[in-house]
């Protein structure tokens, strides 16, 4: 399933004005300004939406967890990137009517630039104890060309934990969803 998606849809639209981030030098000179866009809420999750000017044309960037945004959880869901992106766009268009986003008849016909995709796979190891045992063994014995696996706060990182390009990690999903402060959509409770 797709756990995180950042994509740009090349689409003429009214510019989305939202929060900005800027860097100011000690002498007062503005070094740069970045448009952060707006947050569109749904369930306990939000999607960040912003206008981006690209070489191809004006684009709308959507960034967030499509499954949590669309269905309220990421326990199971689709791996269809275009379907999820279309669903995200339509839900944003319906919720944030003030943006006046255009209606798209066929999402598959869009020119899309995929920037980030997090792909998740779940495995049933039997019991919670078996999952913890497997994770413990991976922390001791697993290695990759980057060296031994890193164990941090219940998660095993098989690659560089802070890589901007790709990563592989494993953790106990049951512990995540039963942790204090974590909420599931009402349909799953």
Q: CA-to-CA distance for 128 and 81, rounded, in angstroms?
A: 31
Both tokens of residue 65? 């967890």
**Residue closest to 62 by CA, chosen among 37, 97, 83:** 37
Q: What is the pLDDT of residues 68-122, one digit of tens each?
A: 888 888 888 899 999 999 999 999 999 988 888 888 887 667 789 999 998 888 8
If you average pLDDT over each of 109-118, 151-160, 170-179, which comes out highest?
109-118
| 6 in Cβ contact with 61 (< 8 Å) | yes
Indicate the pLDDT class of residue 27, thresholds 50, 70 and 90: very high
% pLDDT > 70, the chain? 90
Q: What is the pLDDT of residues 35-70, one digit of tens each?
A: 888 999 887 678 999 999 888 889 999 999 998 888
Which residues, at least 6 apart from 27, have a Cβ–Cβ distance to it below 8 Å?
none
Mean pLDDT across the chain: 85
Res 187 pLDDT > 70: no
């Amino acid at each position: 399933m797709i756990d995180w998606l950042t994509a740009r849809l090349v689409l003429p639209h009214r510019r989305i004005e939202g929060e900005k981030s800027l860097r100011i030098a000690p002498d007062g000179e503005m070094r740069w300004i970045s448009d952060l866009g707006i947050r569109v809420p749904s369930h306990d999750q939000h999607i960040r939406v912003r206008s981006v000017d690209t070489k191809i044309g004006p684009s709308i960037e959507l960034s967030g967890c499509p499954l949590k945004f669309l269905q309220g959880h990421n326990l199971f869901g689709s791996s269809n990137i275009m379907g999820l992106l279309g669903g995200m766009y339509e839900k944003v268009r319906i919720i944030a009517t003030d943006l006046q986003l255009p209606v798209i008849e066929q999402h598959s016909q869009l020119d899309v630039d995929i920037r980030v995709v997090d792909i998740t796979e779940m495995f049933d190891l039997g019991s919670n104890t078996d999952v913890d045992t497997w994770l413990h063994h991976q922390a001791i014995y697993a290695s990759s060309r980057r060296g031994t696996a890193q164990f941090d706060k219940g998660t095993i990182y098989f690659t560089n934990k802070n890589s901007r390009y790709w990563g592989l990690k494993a953790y106990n999903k049951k512990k995540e969803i039963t942790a204090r402060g974590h909420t599931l959509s009402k349909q799953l409770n």
